[in-house]
Amino acid sequence: MSFLLKYKQLEEKCEIPNENYTIRDLLDEMELSPQTVVSKQNGELVIEDTVIEDGDEIQLVQIIYGG
């Protein structure tokens, strides 16, 4: 069970650690604030409570930078 993570230059295959693993959980692990990024699941915008499924492509777009 894995997904493809795209963030800035990073493109990495990641394991889904547990059931009902959400984008919010992923952001927590990456220490990213949901306030500063928007998330896409398989190319479509989604909210952070979305559960990541096997084979998903998850893209995180940073929209707010400090200052």
Partner 1 sequence: MQCSKCGNPKVIYKREQSGQLLCQDCFIESIEKKVIKTIKNEKLLDKGDKVLVALSGGKDSVTTLEILNSFRKMQVIDICAVTVDEGIANYRQEGVDIAKRHAERLGIEHKVVSLKEDYGITLDEIMEKENHRGSCTYCGVFRRTIINKAAREMGATKIATGHNLDDEVQAIMMNYLEGNTGNLTKLGAKTESKAEEFTVKIKPLREIPEREIGLYVVAKDLEVHFDSCPYAMQSFRGEVSEVINQLAEKHPTIKYSTLRGYDKIKNTLKKEMQKEYAHGRCKRCGEPASNELCKACFFLEELGL
Using the minimum distance from each CB to partner 1, give the nearer residue, 2 or 33.
33
Other C-beta atoms lying within 10 Å of the C-beta of residue 20 = 8
Binding site for partner 1 (CB under 8 A): 35-36, 38, 44-47, 49, 61-67
Of all helices (H) and strands (E), which one includes residue 44?
Answer: strand 44-46
Compute the least distance from the CB of residue 18 to partner 1, in Å: 21
Using the minimum distance from each CB to partner 1, give the nearer residue, 15 or 67.
67
Those residues with Cβ within 8 angstroms of residue 8's Cβ, 6 or more apart along the chain or in another chain: 62
Using the minimum distance from each CB to partner 1, give the nearer residue, 1 or 45.
45
